[in-house]
Amino acid sequence: MACCHYFAPSDGGDEAFAVEGATVAFGAGVLAEAGDHAAALGIRRVALMTDKVLAGLPQVAAVRRSLTAAGLDVVLYDEVRVEPTDESFKAATRFATEGNFDGFVSVGGGSVIDTCKAANLYSTYPADFLTYVNAPIGGGQPVPGPLKPHIACPTTCGTGSECTGIAIFDLLEMQAKTGIVSRRLRPTQALVDPACTDTLPKNVVAASAFDVLSHALESYTALPYSKRAAPKRPSQRPLSQGANPWSDLGCREALQILGGNMVKGVIEKDATDARHQLMWAATLAGIAFGNAGCHAPHGMSYAVSGLVRNFQPDGYPADAPIVPHGMSVIVNAPSVFRFTAPACPDRHLQAAGWLGADTRGAGEADAGEVLAGQIIAMMRATGVPNGIGGVGYSVDDIAALTEGSFPQRRLMDNAPRPISKDDLAGLYRSALAYW
Ligand SMILES: [Zn+2]
């Protein structure tokens, strides 16, 4: 397909890309549809999964009411861990196995939705835990067949997990963040209710929206599918297939929405319409990165969140230090896009323009700086930390951060240019502070 020179054929590269969608119902109040969708999917006895904090909030109550009104037998599981681990995945699996459910509903952020995907998988196809986990850490075995129906209800405008076949967790014994990736994990139905964002604290909206922004930027600038080695068999084409014309559509629209609404949606508490737009951008970017895959800012983020010492932002639980996912991603982003711009400068410039940068007179050599400058301006306007230094790291941590993220091959190899270990250390060094 010669629709764009970025996708020009290459020797040994894949010759086709997959178009995979998610099934989404989007609209304020849509959580009240959960019962009808569940009944239509044939669910009678349902596991309702969430975390301890959300369990007491109106969103979970609304979903539960709807499921009960539809005549379903509902059992609540509120033990999901924020930033899940293999242990918390296993605990949810035990609950799912013992409960004998014929379907699942998850209400929460990425941690809840991902945990529900894993519980559905391991209770449906029991196996040693590492069997389906990404190689080389796990066995990378394909999921044997379809899972039980899963209705995912995101409560933040960030992860896009409701649209993807990815479940991320910390493998405790190796202190590594890894995941399970299979199109079979994609929820059967997503119910995206933008009203969930109305009461979110400012920092939570900022972190979520920057996660969306990076999903869209990384998918748009990822290695093109035509430069990724062709799979041995077409049915083995990876879910993270690289940038492609289908994911481009969602990225472009998401970036334009973010350019117009993000700062307002974060800093103005009553900017309901802007926040609802951010939820739509999250959905679009979720579909896009679920098909294209992210690259280095996400690959680097896992070490930034995993090695946290004492950072505790407002709006998050005060019981343990945390670098929220979106913050751990965006602190790397300007540094990465300065580095990747020479691989596809026109894409970096286009993206900067969609986000609101003035690109008049900018040439290819300026692309990385223009995009990085626009991201930095948005970071400053929304009050997020100034680089990895802003979340507690110094030059002394660069070796550990590099060791922690270099093995993230699924993500690092999806960048538009190769990243050596020295390159990666340099990327962290350039991410220490931006202003
Ligand atoms: Zn993310």
Q: How far is the CA of 40 from the centre of ligand 1 (A)?
A: 31
Q: How far is the CA of 370 from the centre of ligand 1 (A)?
A: 23
Q: How far is the CA of 327 from the centre of ligand 1 (A)?
A: 10
Residue 289: the pLDDT is 92
Residue 318: the pLDDT is 80
Residue count of the chain, please give it. 435
Exposure class string for 305-339: b at 16+ Cβ within 10 A, else e: bbbbeebebeebeeeeebbbbbbbbbbbbbbbbbb
Q: How far is the CA of 81 from the centre of ligand 1 (A)?
A: 17
Q: How far is the CA of 364 from the centre of ligand 1 (A)?
A: 28
Residues at Cβ < 5 Å from ligand 1 ion = 211
Q: How far is the CA of 424 from the centre of ligand 1 (A)?
A: 19
Residue 149: the pLDDT is 98
Residue with tokens 């062709």: 230
Q: How far is the CA of 325 from the centre of ligand 1 (A)?
A: 6
Q: How far is the CA of 38 from the centre of ligand 1 (A)?
A: 27
pTM given for the model: 0.94
Q: How far is the CA of 180 from the centre of ligand 1 (A)?
A: 15
Per-residue pLDDT of the chain (435 residues; tens, 9 = 90+): 434 789 999 999 999 999 988 899 999 999 999 999 999 999 999 999 999 989 999 999 999 999 999 999 999 999 999 889 999 999 999 999 999 999 999 999 999 999 999 999 999 999 999 999 988 889 999 999 999 999 999 998 778 899 999 999 989 888 778 899 999 999 999 999 999 999 889 999 999 999 999 999 999 999 999 999 999 999 889 889 999 999 999 999 999 999 999 999 999 988 999 999 999 999 999 999 999 999 999 999 989 998 999 999 988 878 889 999 999 999 999 999 999 999 999 999 999 999 999 999 999 999 999 999 999 999 999 999 999 999 999 999 999 999 999 988 889 999 999 999 999 999 999 999 999
Q: How far is the CA of 215 from the centre of ligand 1 (A)?
A: 6
What are the CB-based long-range contacts (under 8 Å, 24+) for 397-404?
397/307, 397/428, 398/425, 398/428, 398/429, 399/425, 400/303, 400/307, 401/300, 401/303, 401/304, 401/307, 401/428, 402/303, 402/428, 403/303, 404/175, 404/176, 404/302, 404/303, 404/306, 404/307
Q: How far is the CA of 208 from the centre of ligand 1 (A)?
A: 8
Q: How far is the CA of 36 from the centre of ligand 1 (A)?
A: 30
Q: How far is the CA of 241 from the centre of ligand 1 (A)?
A: 17
Q: How far is the CA of 44 from the centre of ligand 1 (A)?
A: 33
Residue 239: the pLDDT is 87
Q: How far is the CA of 174 from the centre of ligand 1 (A)?
A: 21
What are the CB-based long-range contacts (under 8 Å, 24+) for 122-127?
122/89, 122/90, 122/93, 122/96, 122/97, 123/93, 123/96, 123/97, 124/148, 126/97
Q: How far is the CA of 393 from the centre of ligand 1 (A)?
A: 20
Q: How far is the CA of 211 from the centre of ligand 1 (A)?
A: 5
